[in-house]
Chain A
Amino acid sequence: QKEVEQNSGPLSVPEGAIASLNCTYSDRGSQSFFWYRQYSGKSPELIMSIYSNGDKEDGRFTAQLNKASQYVSLLIRDSQPSDSATYLCAVSSINYQLIWGAGTKLIIKP
């Protein structure tokens, strides 16, 4: 059974600090890795995608991938109250499917 594991949280971070979200996956054949943000009652929206080992930065967001350790993370710098949401990690699988983690709830405290 292919799995994606995330800490369910909630993860509480002070405003302005760095939020660090982590995800591990079981399928060594996975090639594509994604972070989605989901506000309560809304649908998931793509934040970052990463395909090769190392870091990828986009504004306040940095995705980190380590295929040897089967680990992907998302860093959010200068956290804002608007970053409070559930963050879903997804990993590519066969037939264009994604395997989804259950999500980490992030709370940014003003």
Chain B
Amino acid sequence: DVKVTQSSRYLVKRTGEKVFLECVQDMDHENMFWYRQDPGLGLRLIYFSYDVKMKEKGDIPEGYSVSREKKERFSLILESASTNQTSMYLCASSFRGASTDTQYFGPGTRLTVL
């Protein structure tokens, strides 16, 4: 079974703090994704990566950065957390192959910024 893990299930931070969210997958997937999910807005893509040290902006990259130094690990960084970044953050991974775009999700991190 594919396993995607995220560093924290719940996180509470103060405005202005630097926040690190980590994601690790154990299936040797090339592609990794970071989403945020808010009520009524669905899943929105923040950043994705299809190889080590590669990153691409998604739909809402402002206020975020990412790091992928190893194939299995994809980190999301909030440089200076703000209250409007309070959300559920979901990491996903997928295999890079024809017709195999299935994404597998981690359990999510519910981040609250006070």
A positions within 8 Å CB-CB of B: 31-32, 34, 41-46, 49, 51, 88, 90, 92, 95-98, 100-103
> In the bound complex, how far is the Cα of B101 from the Cα of A96, in angstroms?
6
Asked if B108 contacts A98 (CB within 8 A), the reply is no
> In the bound complex, how far is the Cα of B101 from the Cα of A95, in angstroms?
10
**The residue from A43, A97, A101 contacting B106, defined by CB atoms under 8 A apart:** A43
Residues of B contacting A49 with CB < 8 Å?
102
* Chain A residue with Cβ nearest B98: A31
**Would you mind naming 13 contact pairs between A and B with Cβ atoms under 8 Å apart?**
A31-B99, A34-B103, A42-B108, A43-B106, A43-B107, A51-B99, A92-B101, A96-B101, A97-B33, A97-B48, A98-B101, A98-B103, A102-B40
Q: How far is the CB of B45 from chain A (nearest CB, A)?
A: 7
On chain B, the number of residues with a Cβ less than 8 Å from chain A's Cβ atoms is: 25
Residues of B contacting A34 with CB < 8 Å?
101-103
Asked if A32 contacts B101 (CB within 8 A), the reply is yes
Asked if B104 contacts A46 (CB within 8 A), the reply is yes
Asked if A95 contacts B99 (CB within 8 A), the reply is no
In the complex, whether B90 has a CB less than 8 A from a CB of chain A is: yes
> In the bound complex, how far is the Cα of B41 from the Cα of A102, in angstroms?
6
Residues of B contacting A32 with CB < 8 Å?
99-102
Q: Which of A51, A88, A90, A97 has the most CB of B within 10 A?
A: A97
Residues of B contacting A98 with CB < 8 Å?
101, 103
Q: How far is the CB of B10 from chain A (nearest CB, A)?
A: 11
> In the bound complex, how far is the Cα of B33 from the Cα of A15, in angstroms?
36
Residues of B contacting A31 with CB < 8 Å?
99
**The residue from A44, A46, A96, A100 contacting B50, defined by CB atoms under 8 A apart:** A96
